[in-house]
Chains A and B, each alone.
Chain A
Amino acid sequence: MKRRTLLASGAAAALSTAFGAPLRAQEKTKVGFIYVGPINDGGWTQYHHHSAGEMVTHFGDSVELVYQESVPEGPDAERAMTQMALGGADIIFTTSFGFMDPTINVAAKFPNVKFEHATGYKSAENVSTYSARFYEGRAIQGHLTGKMTKTNKVGYIASVPIPEVVRGINSAYLHASKVNPDVEFKIIWIFEWLNPAKEADAAKALIEQGCDVILQHTDSTAPHAAAREAGNVYTFGQAADMAEYGPMPRISSIIDNWAPYYIERVQAVMDGTWTTSNRWDGIGTGMVGIGEISDAVPADIKAEAEAMRDAIADGSYHPFTGPINKQDGSVWLAEGEVADDGALAGLNFYVEGVDGDIPS
């Protein structure tokens, strides 16, 4: 208890003397971001930063943005967060799964600072979690993939084997195989979220194996560059629109739009109404955006994909609606049954038809 009070008073002292800006710190709400990649990675981190920028534009002078990019997941992350809290941040967004335990640890030391951790599952009184239902976007990608592939071989560059990534693979496969039963997924795991060199190697290897659609759950544009070089290969923007690679190879994208959420949460801190929560939004609220489907896609297929997008948005269609079997053939969801959020959150198996094993 004594240590906690000490820390709390330390944090309070930090608020008033924060790095030579004592007066402004009192007036402004200081919003911190811990990024896993560089802010110009073209994907995941860039869109968090972009959304942070929109949040700042919304609030203008009443907020102060502070961020640290390329923070390694591990003990260094804990230090970066502590520095931010000591620097007087009122709310800190930690935007990678690997920041989960560090966020929980640092939050325990700074009970007056609010923390928001993206894509994890641990929360606390001052730690909220938020994520997006990317699998909704994957369903649309899967549909386009099944329709567009000619070789029926689809490459999938997977990052880290966590449920979010497994959900994406399952959702894409289910909707690809629904319109094209012959489709086959080749999955390469690179165990990183961002590594342009590895991503490019994976894309080239998949293209050489005959894949003519490359899906990615990694953050860089390197697979698009590899696809453009090979020609006649389709790709999808990941986390960012990556429109610079359209209309070919990029034919659509999943865009992360965190800005409305960031604005809402920072507003709550300003109003003193912030409470811990667990947000999981999708296309309906705009947290998941579907990038413009390019002219390389025939109009009728584009219309189907857009209809699916709208059905998911208004809630009339759920991408995980039975009948769906697990990879081993056992029943997961019966006819008409919809997966509940708890099962989706911990999803750790492939659906029937996906080859290979989740790394274990």
Chain B
Amino acid sequence: MLRLEKRPQPSKAWTYAAPLLAVVITILLGGVLFWLLGKDPIAATRMIFWDPLFGDFAAFYLPELLIKAAPLILIAIGLSFGFQAGIWNIGAEGQYIIGAICAAGVALAFYPLEARWMIFPLMIVAGIAGGAAWAMIPALLRVYFKTNEILVSLMLVYVAEVLINAFSVGLMRNPDGMGFPGSRSLKEYPAAANGDLFPNLGSFGSGIHWGVITALFAVVVAYVFLTRHRFGFNVRLAGQSPRAAAFSGVNPNRLIILCMVLSGGMAGLAGMFEVAGPSGQILGSFPAYYGFTAIIVAFLGRLHPIGIMLAGLLMALTYIGGDAALQPLQLPSASIQVFQGMLLFSLLAVDVLTNYRIRFSKGAIA
């Protein structure tokens, strides 16, 4: 009979193998799902995972992949520090929205001034500040009133969604928009636009905007902080053993605030790049759930910067490839969401092997 036995410490090998195995299991289960829907499972899997990278229209899909992955990676990197320390910021989506609102507010306040050297950096500062400030609310409430940061940060997402709706039909509405909701297009405002930095690369551009570069930079910086800096050590220590952390002089309240500000600021920064680039305007439909998807990305990437980068690219691939498979196969849109959900569940299931080992006990059968 099969029996699970707890490992003395998590298996190093399984820590790295689990996400890969989860991807394989997801592909197999996904194949079954597509087969049950009456579609060719091989073709569907190929369209999701292969065609965007190597197919006929890779020149179009690769830039899209970067555009989709950048905010996921940025937000997930920010979240990973808090998650390691046992500080659960679930409301990155709200901080992402507020960051976008603040950044767009700066841009619209200066419109139509042509001073990119000043406006674009100010937008970045405003985006970070906005996201960080929104994250400070659950952080301070936790520190001073012992509230649960999971609930408070999550609830603030809904507040942020109401705010962006209000701004899109109110203060930030495009005066030339004939009464329709939505701000001016920041894409068409050169001083604020976060466009493709290499638009002539390939027939669809490179997809590389400032957010992509910042995400890559964030991966490197986070890696250094996590492995070489005292902050990274404190974070890991606080997560593994709060008592030991306290003895070694880590101030838990300061750590909460630092982690929340960091994750909020990163989410706000992602919101800034998004509102000035791919999305282009403040609109009720701006929220794209990157803040929630980034939580999956963070865990799929083992809360490690390099892992998060790979997980962000993989998650982006399921979005892009999933969309690409919808049209030619005429799949229902929910099937791709089911597919993404399977990825998370497979990971959670396989993760059992990281902490437990399987034993075959002969005696139990008799």
Contacts and interface: CB of A to CB of B under 8 A. Distances in A.
Tell me what chain B mostly uses at the interface: helix, strand, loop, or mixed.
loop
Contacts of B328: 19, 66, 87
B249 interface: no
Contacts of B199: 3
B327 A87 contact: yes
Contact of B181 (A7, A121, A161): A161
Nearest to B59: A10
Contact of A163 (B179, B284, B334): B179
Interface string B160-186: 000001100110010000111100010
Interface string B48-88: 00000000110110001001000000000000000000000
Interface string A6-22: 11001001100101000
A68 B169 contact: no
Contact of A97 (B180, B203, B286, B334): B180
B327 to A, nearest CB: 5
A101 interface: yes
Contacts of A166: 179
Interface string B192-211: 00000001100110000000
Contacts, number: 99
B327 A66 contact: yes
A79 B180 CA distance: 23
Contact size class for B? 35 or more
Contacts of A69: 332-333
Nearest to B205: A3
B332 A83 contact: no
A162 interface: yes
Contact size class for A? 35 or more
Contacts of B286: 74
Given A67-B330, A161-B169, A360-B169, A74 B179 contact: no
A192 B326 CA distance: 24
A79 B178 contact: no
A76 B56 CA distance: 20
Contacts of B44: none
A73 interface: yes
A337 B334 CA distance: 50
A19 B200 CA distance: 26
A82 interface: yes
Interface of A: 3, 6-7, 10, 13-14, 17, 19, 32, 38, 66-76, 79-80, 82-84, 86-87, 97-98, 101, 121, 160-163, 166, 191-192, 345-348, 358-360
24 contacts: A38-B334, A68-B326, A68-B327, A69-B332, A69-B333, A70-B334, A71-B333, A73-B285, A75-B67, A75-B278, A83-B324, A83-B327, A84-B327, A87-B327, A87-B328, A162-B179, A163-B178, A166-B179, A191-B284, A345-B178, A346-B178, A348-B179, A359-B166, A360-B170
Given A121-B178, A161-B181, A346-B179, 13 more contacts: A13-B56, A14-B57, A69-B333, A74-B283, A75-B279, A76-B323, A83-B324, A163-B178, A346-B178, A347-B179, A348-B178, A359-B165, A360-B170
